[in-house]
């Protein structure tokens, strides 16, 4: 008899509610609508059209309302385990286990890091900002100064002087870019401005991801 021990910090409940996943791929951002299999305070299990490897970062809108055009919060999450179609979903005893007809991903919601890390525990460069940054996931559009086509990206953290985002385009330190927010009412900087001019201050590879972490400083 198969028996799978549940090691989760929070108990989970079988709950089927709409959710939206967003992640950064090699050719830009992708989204997928799905329905949860079970949910806890610390994460969820969702069937996916695509297989997501363990360790991959994405953003979750849950519960997702398709009738709302924007403004729905997106929570950073990380894939802790994935199954292929027809495999046992992780975590329950065999008599109470979910068997998924398609790939499924167990997601862990990213907890806000300790204040000593100043808002970002994943990137190793030392903190040099004059203003503290706060972990905040917002959809943005970024384009180089001399190119009219933007890429869709997601912020990781934001301060009064700049932000860090994950994107798929290549950027160079010292390069100037224009940043705009999907909903102006949610822009962390002064309202009423369509685009903000910024300069790239650092670029680094994100482990287990095709995305790049790009740090920007707002240009007065």
Half-sphere exposure at residue 74, Cβ-oriented, CA atoms within 13 angstroms = 24
Residue 68 belongs to some domain of the structure? yes
pLDDT of residue 106: 92
Whether residue 97 is found in the same domain as residue 131: no
Last-in-domain residue among 109, 133, 159: 109
Residue 1 belongs to some domain of the structure? no
pLDDT digits (tens, 9 = 90+) for 130-180: 557 788 888 899 999 999 999 999 999 999 899 999 998 999 999 999 999
Residue 5 belongs to some domain of the structure? no
Whether residue 190 is found in the same domain as residue 140: yes
Residue 167 belongs to some domain of the structure? yes
Whether residue 203 is found in the same domain as residue 174: yes
Whether residue 105 is found in the same domain as residue 120: no
CA gap 18, 54 in Å, rounded? 22
Whether residue 147 is found in the same domain as residue 132: yes
Residue 7 belongs to some domain of the structure? no
pLDDT of residue 186: 62
pLDDT of residue 14: 87
Last-in-domain residue among 54, 75, 109: 109
Residue 8 belongs to some domain of the structure? no
Low-confidence ranges of the chain (pLDDT < 70): 1-11, 70, 85-101, 111-131, 183-187, 190-193
Whether residue 100 is found in the same domain as residue 125: no
With helix as H, strand as E and coil as C, how does 116-185 read? HHCCCCCCCCCCCCCCCCEECCCEEEEEECCCCCCEEEEEEEECCCEEEEEECCCCCCCCEEEEEECCHH
Question: How many structural domains are present in the chain?
Answer: 2
**CATH number of the domain encompassing residue 24:** 2.40.10.220
Residue 93 belongs to some domain of the structure? yes
Whether residue 98 is found in the same domain as residue 63: yes
CA gap 11, 67 in Å, rounded? 31
Domain range for 92: 13-109
Whether residue 121 is found in the same domain as residue 211: yes
């Amino acid at each position: 008899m198969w028996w799978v021990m549940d090691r989760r910090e929070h108990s989970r409940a079988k709950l089927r509610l709409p959710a939206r996943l967003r992640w950064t791929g090699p050719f830009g951002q992708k989204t997928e609508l799905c329905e949860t299999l079970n949910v806890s305070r610390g994460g969820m299990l969702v069937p996916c059209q695509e297989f997501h490897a363990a360790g991959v970062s994405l953003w979750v809108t849950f519960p997702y309302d398709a009738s709302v055009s924007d403004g729905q919060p997106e929570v950073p999450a990380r894939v802790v385990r994935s199954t292929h179609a027809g495999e046992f979903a992780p975590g329950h005893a065999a008599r109470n286990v979910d068997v998924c007809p398609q790939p499924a991903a167990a997601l862990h919601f990213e907890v806000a890091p300790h204040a000593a890390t100043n808002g970002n525990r994943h990137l190793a460069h030392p903190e040099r900002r004059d203003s503290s940054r706060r972990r905040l996931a917002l959809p943005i559009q970024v384009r180089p100064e001399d190119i009219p086509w933007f890429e869709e990206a997601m912020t990781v953290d934001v301060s009064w002087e700049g932000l860090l985002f994950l994107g798929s385009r290549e950027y160079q330190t010292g390069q100037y870019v224009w940043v705009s927010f999907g909903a102006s009412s949610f822009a962390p900087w002064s309202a009423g401005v369509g685009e903000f001019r910024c300069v790239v201050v650092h670029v680094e590879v994100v482990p287990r991801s095709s995305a790049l972490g790009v740090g920007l400083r707002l240009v007065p």
